[in-house]
Amino acid sequence: MTNDEGYHSLTPHEVAEVLESGAEVFLIDIRPPRQFHQGHLPEAISLPADDFADRYEREINPDDSVILICEKGLNSIAAAKFLISQDFTNVALLAGGMIAWREMQGESD
């Protein structure tokens, strides 16, 4: 469900379902490169928050379906709001971030 800001949150299980369905979606991981290389979702693109505004146009287009990923699920909110302001219409974020994803996978920090 889309919130008033124009993006929606997906649980780790919902993201897994999207990936399993084969839907065309861009997974954008906005964590720093060090965290990305320690573990990330399959097919995720590293686009760190520090470079996001300068680099996003090289990776994704407003018509693309995008799921944003950060560590806790909070930093991706700013990226989602930014993309909405740039006329993106299908923007989601991983609720709880990689912490929630790892918990779903049975991993711990």
Domains of the chain: 8-104 (3.40.250.10)
Q: How far apart are CA 73 and CA 76, in angstroms?
A: 6
Residue 70 falls in the annotated catalytic set: yes
Residues making up the chain, counted from first to last: 109
Residue position matching structure tokens 């699920």: 73
Residue position matching structure tokens 């146009």: 57
Residue 27 pLDDT greater than 70, yes or no: yes
pLDDT in tens, 63-100: 999 999 999 988 999 999 999 999 999 999 999 999 99
Instruction: Give the count of alpha carbons within 13 A of 26, CB side only.
Output: 19
Catalytic, out of 15, 67, 70, 100:
70
pLDDT in tens, 7-17: 999 999 999 99
Give percent of the chain above pLDDT 70.
94
CB 26 within 8 A of CB 63: no
pTM: 0.92
